Structure 1
Amino acid sequence: MKAETRGALNAPRGDLRPSSGLRVAIIHYWLVGMRGGEQVLEALCRMFPQADIYTHAYLPAKVSPAIRRHKITTTSVGRLPFAPKLYTRYLPLMPRALEEIDLAGYDLVISSEAGPAKGVIAPPDAVHLCYCHSPMRYLWDQYHTYRNGAGLLTRTLMPPLAAKLRSWDVVSAARVDAFAANSHHVAARIRKYWRRESTVVHPPVALDQFAPVAPEARGDFYLWAGELAPYKRPDIAIEAFNRLQRPLVVIGGPGRTVRALSAKAGDTIRFLGHAPYDVLKQHLAACRALIFPGEEDFGIVPVEAMASGRPVIAYGRGGALDTVRDGETGLLFRDQSVEGLVDAVTRFEAEGLEDLDPMALRDHARQFDEASFVTGLADMLAAEGIAFEPAPGAPAA
């Protein structure tokens, strides 16, 4: 959108409007747990303590106090039966629900997009910035994977519903003034599917929660951590470590997937399920390396591993290309298969990458801290005529 069409909000950079005086609305796809997207939302809440939040489904007990202290309003989807648990079933209704949100009086709208969020209709003088974790995978690059893994009814209904949702998804992208992408991988998909340019602003990682340990405190195991979703390829890790006969600890759920994978795992593989956060941190600091065989949009766990002083063995596509430096902070492998991972672990050990300097790994991870995230978004807002002014105690740009 051209500067002259937005009045005072697009004043020259020398006369920026301060963010502290603005009414801010944050649109987040759903609030039913604390994952990477919700960590970004927490950072946005610290940047804009005055912001109101709109979402499709909300489970207060599942989100942090930092989010709960904001005024949170659910869309019409949130009033449907069992919406906090069945929200994905209501996906076809979400576009209309977003367009029903009355944002009159807001000066800044920030949509947090991984499910439908950016399709709101912002006031004509408001700035709409979209922080994109990912274009909806089940509509675009992962459509066939999701459909092939679904039940008969879903497989039947997906083609006509997805076609309509894709059309709306592209049209609604035109309503956004500026896109922030969480990685270069996501920026490429924004360009491919929505034909829009974006600025890469990596998500904030709570680096102060992680720290290296002394060499004698480390273990003799490798670590896989995260949700046991098919696209994260835990199956590759299980079979590869069966062949290697190396110890592997797996942290994550859901329980039914743990049970299915356990049936295929040998004696060297141990499952901890949904372990407490402190247990995850201990294992990140003590492992020989983090195993990361999936293609992620960004992937916070590798940064957490490096902040803990441990290297990463990652599939060399997606967000890992933004975070892992081959031979310097870990190892990237190009063949996403059992054989490819077996070869990668073998090379990792042969090249002595286990002995990379823990403090150098931690220093590398610092570029993904919250201050960098705030600076990136502040620069984007300045280009839209808004000067970010941190509240007392909030992170500064």
Structure 2
Amino acid sequence: MRVAIVHYWLVSMRGGEKVVEALCDMYPDADIFTLVYDESRVSEKIRKHKVTTSFLQRIPGAIKAYQSLLPLMPFALESFDLTDYDLIISSESGPAKGIIPPPHATHVCYCHSPMRYLWDHYHFYRSHAGLASRLMLPVLAPLLRSWDVSTSLRVDRFVANSHHVSDRISKYYRRPATVLHPPVSVDDFTPSAVIDDFYLCAGQLIPYKRIDLAVEAFTRMNRKLVVIGEGKEMERLKRAAGPTITFLGRAPFAVLKEKLSRCRALIFPGEEDFGIVPVEAMASGRPVIAYGSGGALETVVPGLSGMLFGEQSVEGLIKAVRDFEENEHLFHPEALRAHAGQFSLRNFMVGMQAIIDEELMMRKTVQHRRDYNIAAMQRAFEAQLPALVTEPRSATLQ
């Protein structure tokens, strides 16, 4: 069985790329297809595979400005020739499911999210975009939405990374989805015996992550906050930050691991589809203070693994931090690590393999049933042939 893994773009190592790594472990001979590829910014595990890029790769500056090429992505995805593959696994968020699968192939889509900038976050993205994007999006978005919905019919089985995403797949694509949480390398993280007096934010510095709420809240409270990550919001956040806010930029894994294990708590103020960093914090024995929406509702259990706040505002976050500090003694590293264990890499791989095997067997059963029905119809037709033969005429017309 020849296997193809289709991922939207490979230009960094975040949650989606961790899923690709797990799929590479499951199918070590699989080929990878992606829109654009920066070999220097992905893991050795991914680099070991044959990676095929689209024509977007040849556009100057595409690796850094790939998101501006959104109108070309449907054409790029449909240009991939997957004729020789039996199993296609698309890792969808950017998009990726829009490939054209051959009739005989099984297409399983692991969906991190329907494209946020076309659907539920459309107005937020547009309001934070540059002038050109604000002008073009109202023209392009309806066309891209139509393409996005139509390509959902090219998928045989949807797998969602959370119930939150499953609900959006049902809403926008009218398709059911099996929920399987993404893999988290929980064994890579360990608790620390020393807890320092700071809170932590980690992730891309982009608008919908709402790191701005944390920066303003901790500036107001005069409490220490360490921010790990890079993105277009960096300069704006630095200008708004007070002296208690520290920006580390894109930190090595060793630094992230240390900060996760020694912070008082992870601050998670945005709405995420799932959110891997909170689980990494729990695996490090530290609780999470999260906005109570999206994937956080599936990982943050109040009183066990963290606290949730209902109002996505500076005031709501400040209140949550103060409530946490009154109850900080209730959180235990052992309980947090045990809770994080359910999101392990092994559980993901076992669950994904079971889903794929089930879908392959289902398609095989349907094919056998179709072949049987065709054979039965042919036998019935052949049995009727004698009655359908025209009798010779008894007289000749004069």
TM-score (norm 2): 0.88
Q: CA RMSD in A?
A: 1.4
Q: Which runs of 5+ in 1 are unaligned?
A: 1-21, 388-397
Q: Which residue of 2 aligns with 1:127?
A: 106
Equivalent residues of 2:213, 2:314 under 8 A apart = yes
Q: CA deviation at 1:263?
A: 2.2
1:274 matched to 2:274: no
- Stretch deviating more after TM superposition (98-107 or 53-62): 98-107
SS of residue in 2 equivalent to 1:85: coil
Q: CA deviation at 1:47?
A: 0.5
1:227-253 deviation per Cα after TM superposition (whole angstroms, max 9, x unaligned): 111111111111111222222111112
Q: Which residue of 1 aligns with 2:388?
A: none
Counterparts of 1:19-58 in structure 2 under 5 Å?
22-58=1-37
SS of residue in 2 equivalent to 1:27: strand
Query: Which protein is bigger by CA-based radius of gyration?
Result: 2
1:200-236 deviation per Cα after TM superposition (whole angstroms, max 9, x unaligned): 111101111100011xx11011111111111111111
1:333-369 deviation per Cα after TM superposition (whole angstroms, max 9, x unaligned): 111001100110111112x234411011001000000
How far apart, CA to CA, are the structure 1 residues paired with 2:26 and 2:177?
A: 21
Counterparts of 1:1-397 in structure 2 under 5 Å?
22-214=1-193, 217-254=194-231, 257-350=233-326, 352-385=327-360
Q: Which residue of 1 aligns with 2:395?
A: none
How far apart, CA to CA, are the structure 2 residues paired with 1:263 and 1:81?
A: 32
Equivalent residues of 2:110, 2:158 under 8 A apart = yes
Cα distance change, pair 192–264 in 1 and its aligned pair in 2 (3 A) = same
- Stretch deviating more after TM superposition (238-247 or 186-195): 238-247
Q: Which runs of 5+ in 2 are unaligned?
A: 363-398
TM-score (norm 1): 0.89
Q: Which amino acid aligns with 1:219?
A: D
Equivalent residues of 1:222, 1:249 under 8 A apart = yes
How far apart, CA to CA, are the structure 1 residues paired with 2:68 and 2:202?
A: 28
How far apart, CA to CA, are the structure 1 residues paired with 2:264 and 2:98?
A: 44
Q: Which amino acid aligns with 1:143?
A: Y
How far apart, CA to CA, are the structure 1 residues paired with 2:213 and 2:57?
A: 37
Equivalent residues of 2:269, 2:312 under 8 A apart = yes
The number of residues matched between the two structures is 362
Q: Which amino acid aligns with 1:253?
A: E
SS of residue in 2 equivalent to 1:34: coil
- Stretch deviating more after TM superposition (258-267 or 199-208): 258-267
SS of residue in 1 equivalent to 2:243: coil
Q: Which amino acid aligns with 1:40?
A: V
Q: Which residue of 2 aligns with 1:15?
A: none
Equivalent residues of 1:327, 1:353 under 8 A apart = no
SS of residue in 2 equivalent to 1:270: strand
